[in-house]
Chain A
Amino acid sequence: MVHEAVSPSPRFLEPKDLSLLQQVLGHHANDSTKLLQILREVQEHLGFIPNAAVSFIAEALDIPRNRIESVASFYSFLHLRSQGTYRVLFSDNITDRMLGSQTLMERMCQQLWLQPGKVSEDGLLSIGTTSCTGMCDQGPAMLVNERAITKLTHQRIQEIGQLIRNRTPLNDWPADFFYVEDNIHRAGLILGNTMAYGEALQAGLTLGGAAIVDVVKRSGLRGRGGAGYPTGLKWEACRNAKGNQHYVVCNADEGEPGTFKDRVLLTRQADLVFEGMTLCALAVGAKQGFLYLRGEYRYLLDHLKGVLQRRRESNLLGVDILGQSGFDFDIEIHLGAGAYICGEESALIESLEGERGVPRNRPPFPVTQGYLQQPTALDNVETFCQAALAIHMGADKYSAIGTSKSTGSKLISVSGDCPRPGIYEYPFGVSVQEILNDCGAVNTRAVQISGPSGICIGEHEFGRKLGFEDLPTAGAFMVFDDSRDMFEVARNFVHFFAHESCGFCTPCRVGTSMLKQTMDKIAAGQGTHYDLAEVENLDHVLQTTSHCGLGRTACNPVLHTLKHFRPAYESRLKSLSFKPAFDLDGALARARQMTGRDDAGAHLKENE
C-alpha cells in the first residue's frame, strides 16, 4: 500500500465547480452527518473528489480535512484521485466468473490498451473489479460510473469500448444496456400479495402501537437479514427504550454475494417495504426513517423517490398519516458507496451518520443507542415486507405458514449452474432439492447457502430444509455443478472477505489477507500441508476473536469446502510439508513483464 502523500489533483477549483460544491453543501444544510451523501454527490459531478474540494468541504462543514479523507478512503466507490472519466468495474462474484467475466475483462483491457486497476494515460478510463453487484441471475455484470450494466457479452463489451472511445455520455448509451430484469419464477406471500397501498397501514392504525408489537411477536416473524432475531422483540425493545427521538432504518445494503432479492423487492414491492417501515414507526414511536441503499442499486433511486413522493401525496407518509393526528413519519434515502461491512447494523448506522462504516462495540445495541445514539429499529427490506403482511393477515394466519420455528415465506435468490436463475418465494421448510428441481439444476455438486458467510453443502445434504431449525439463510442460493472447481469457489470468497474487511480489528484485518495469500499460494501450486494447518489456525483466531460477523465467518468457505471437497485442495499441494511463500521464479515476473519475455530462458528451473 502506497500512501497518497501528495495528491496530483488540481489545487484550485473552477468557478463552476465551486458553485456546484456550494449547491451540494447547501442542499444538505452543511450538516456533517450527511458527509457521505455530500461526497457521493460531489463525485457524481466531478468524477472524483479533488484535494481542493476536500479543503473546501472541510471548511464549510467545520470538520478537519483528514476526517473527509478518512471517510472517503473507506468506501470503494469514492475516489480522492481521478479514476478516469469512465470507471468500469466488473462484478467479481464467482457467478460472474462462471459466466465468463474474467475473459470479458481481459478482452476489454486489450481492446482499450489498458491494465486492470490503472487509469489510461489520457485519463479517459480505468477498468477494475468490484464485489458482487447483485445481478447474479443476469451476469456477467459491470458498473460504469456506478450504473449497472447486465448480460455482458463479447459484442456488448466491444460496443461499450467504442462508446467510451467516442466519449459518448452515459445517458446516451443504449437503454437496453441498463435494463435489469426481475426474473421472478415463483411468487408467494409477498410477491403474490394483492393488497392496496395503505391497507396494511390502516389495519395497523386500528390496532395501535402496542398491539402491532404484539401481533408481530405472536406471528413468530424473525429477521430476514441473516441473524434471524425475533422482529417483535426488537420492536418492543425499541418502543420501550427511552430517547429524544426514535428511528426506523431499513437495511437495503444487500452486499452478501449471490443475494439480490431485496433489489427485486425494492423494484416490485417498494410500497410494501415503506408500509412495513411506517408500521414499525407507529409501533416504536419514530418520526424519521432511513432506507440505506447500497451504491450498486443507485439506479433505483429515482423510482424509490417517486414512490415516496406518491405516498406523501396519498397521506401515507408525512404529517397526520391517514388522518391520525400526531402520527408523523417520513423516510429519507441514503446511498452507500461500496462497502459490504455497511450491511452490519452498527456499521450501517455509523455510515448513516456520515462516518467510516466500522462496527461499533456492542452493547449498547441499536435498539437503545442507534442512530445519533437514539433508539433505532433496524431491519432488512424483506423483514419489513413480512411484518406488513403479518399485521394485515393477523398473527395466527401468518404463523400457520412455514414451519413452527420459521414462520412465513422466504425469498431465495437463485444463481449459478441452472437454466432458470432468479427469484423464488417459498414457505420456510422447503428442501434444497425442491429448489434445485424448480430452477432446473442438474448434476449439482454443491450449493452455497446464504452466501460466502453462510454454508456450503454437498450432494448428500440436498434433503436439508431452509429455515432457522436447519439451514438458516439470508437468501443467496448459488448452484455449482460437477464441472466446477470448489477450491476456486472458496478462493473467490476468501478474496471477497479480504477486500471487504473494514480493518478495525487485528484478527480480521490481518487474518483475511493472510488467508487470501495462503489460498493464492495453494492455487499457484506452492501450497503444502503446512498451509492447510495454517488455515485452520487462522480460522480459530478469526472465529474466536473477531469484532463482528464478517471476521467470524470469513473462514467458512475454506472450512466447508475442505470438509466436502478436500481432494480439490490436496491435488494442488506439493508433497513437501513446508514450502516457503517466496517463489524465486515468481519474483522475476515483473522483470519478464518489463522486457516482454516469457520464454524458457526467462524462467528459473525449479529444483526440489
Chain B
Amino acid sequence: MSDTFQLDGQPVVFESGQTVMQAALAAGHYIPHLCYHPEFKPHGSCKLCTVKVNGRTAASCTMPAEAGLEVESDSEELNALRRTLVQMLFADGNHFCPSCEKSGNCILQALGYDLEVHSAGFRHQFPDRPLDASHPDILLDFNRCILCELCVNASAEVDGKHVFALAGRGNSKHLIVNAESGLLKDTDIALTDKAMSVCPVGVIIKKGVGFSTPIGERRYDQRPISEQALDDAPRLPSGEAHD
C-alpha cells in the first residue's frame, strides 16, 4: 500500500513500514543524517536528521511515515540545530582532520562542510582516549568515535560476532571490544567483516593502506554529501536496492 506525505512542500510517496527518512531518500529527497545507515535498523541517536512534523521536532530516521504528515526539513531553523549538533560532536571528541586517515571519506566532516559549520562553537573537551594498536592489521582510534553503534550492530547482525559494544554512561560512554584483555588483537575480528566498513568517522582503520588515496581525491572531496547520500540510500526498508 502506498500513500504520501509532504516534505518541504513536495509530495513523497511511501510504503507502510518506512520511516520518514527511508521514504524521503527512496524518493530522491535528501535529509541530513549521520547515524542512519540504509542497511541497518535506524538508531536515532545523532539527531542530525531532526525535522519538524506538524510543528513538533522529531528524528526523521525513526519516525514512521504517515499519510498527510507535513514535514519541514530544509529550513534555516533546522539547519542551525544541525550545525550546533555537528559542533557538539566535533567538540566532544578529538577530531584533527588534517592528520586523519578518514579525511575526505568521513561523513561527520562532509556534513560539517555541507552544513557550513565555520566555527568551533563550543569549548573542545580534549578527552583522553588512548588508541588500541594491538591488532596487526587494524587500528582503533577512539578519539573520533561518535557512538553511533553501527559497528556494534554490523558485527552482531551481519558478521555474527560481537566484537564491539558500548560501555559506560553519559559523557563517559565509550566503545569496548570483546576480549578479557580489552584489546582488539584478542577478538575474532577479520578484515572482511562488515564492521570494518560501516564506521562513518575514522575509528576503525585498516593498517598499511593509509593515505593510498591522497587527500583531495577522496569521496567527499569530489561532490558534497547531500548529493552522494542519495546514491547509496534509495533502498527498501528490507535493505534491497530500489529499482
Contacts and interface: CB of A to CB of B under 8 A. Distances in A.
B216 interface: no
Contact of A501 (B142, B171, B181): B171
B53 interface: no
Nearest to B180: A55
Given A541-B84, A545-B57, A73 B168 contact: yes
- Which residue of A3, A4, A76 has the most chain B CB atoms within 10 A of its CB atom? A3
Contacts of B183: 5
Interface size class, chain B = 35 or more
A351 interface: no
B132 to A, nearest CB: 8
B182 A361 contact: no
A70 B123 contact: no
A361 B91 contact: no
B89 interface: yes
Interface in A507-559: 507, 509-514, 517, 534, 537, 540-541, 544-547
Nearest to A7: B182
A1 B89 contact: no
B131 to A, nearest CB: 10
Contact of A503 (B59, B125, B168, B176): B168
A537 B171 contact: no
A504 B45 CA distance: 6
B169 A361 contact: no
Contacts of A75: 169
Nearest to B123: A581
Interface string A324-362: 000000000000000100000000000000001000010
Interface stretch (B159-167, B191-199, B205-213): B159-167
B81 interface: yes
Nearest to A5: B182
Contacts of A168: none
Given A3-B182, A66-B164, A502 B169 contact: yes
Contacts of A513: 125, 170-171
A64 interface: yes
A547 B47 contact: yes
A565 to B, nearest CB: 25
B169 A517 contact: no
A180 interface: no
Nearest to A364: B64
A67 interface: yes
Given A66-B162, A541-B81, A541-B84, A547 B170 contact: no
A70 B176 contact: yes
A545 B168 contact: no
A1 B171 contact: yes
Contacts of A514: 88, 91, 122-123
Given A70-B176, A74-B168, A505 B47 contact: yes
A396 B91 CA distance: 57
Nearest to A75: B169
Contacts of A55: 180
B173 interface: yes
Nearest to A507: B47
A356 B168 CA distance: 9
Contacts of B125: 513
Interface size class, chain A = 35 or more
B139 interface: no
A2 interface: yes
Contacts of B174: 1, 3
B206 to A, nearest CB: 22
B182 A501 contact: no
A240 interface: no
A499 interface: yes
A64 B178 contact: yes
A51 interface: yes
A1 B89 CA distance: 16
Contacts of A1: 127-129, 168, 171-172, 174
A541 B129 contact: no
A361 B55 CA distance: 19
Given A69-B165, A544-B81, A506 B88 contact: yes
Contact of A507 (B42, B85, B91): B85
Contacts of A500: 170
A6 interface: yes
A362 to B, nearest CB: 9
B176 A66 contact: yes
Contact of B181 (A6, A67, A503, A581): A6
B58 to A, nearest CB: 9
Contacts of A3: 129-130, 142, 174, 176, 182
A2 B128 contact: yes
Nearest to A511: B88
B72 interface: no
A501 B170 contact: yes
B182 A70 contact: no
A544 B128 CA distance: 30
A65 B163 CA distance: 10
A95 to B, nearest CB: 23
B182 A510 contact: no
Interface string B45-58: 11110100000010
A510 B81 CA distance: 14
Nearest to A64: B162
Given A1-B128, A67-B165, 12 more contacts: A1-B129, A2-B128, A2-B130, A3-B130, A4-B182, A7-B182, A69-B165, A361-B59, A363-B64, A498-B170, A503-B172, A541-B81
22 contacts: A3-B142, A5-B181, A5-B183, A6-B181, A67-B162, A69-B167, A74-B168, A501-B170, A501-B171, A505-B44, A505-B45, A506-B146, A507-B47, A509-B92, A510-B92, A514-B88, A514-B123, A517-B123, A541-B81, A545-B50, A545-B81, A547-B44
Interface of A: 1-7, 51, 54-55, 64-67, 69-70, 73-76, 339, 356, 361, 363, 498-507, 509-514, 517, 534, 537, 540-541, 544-547, 581
List the 4 shortest-distance A-B pairs measured between CB atoms, nearest first.
A64-B162, A503-B173, A66-B165, A1-B172
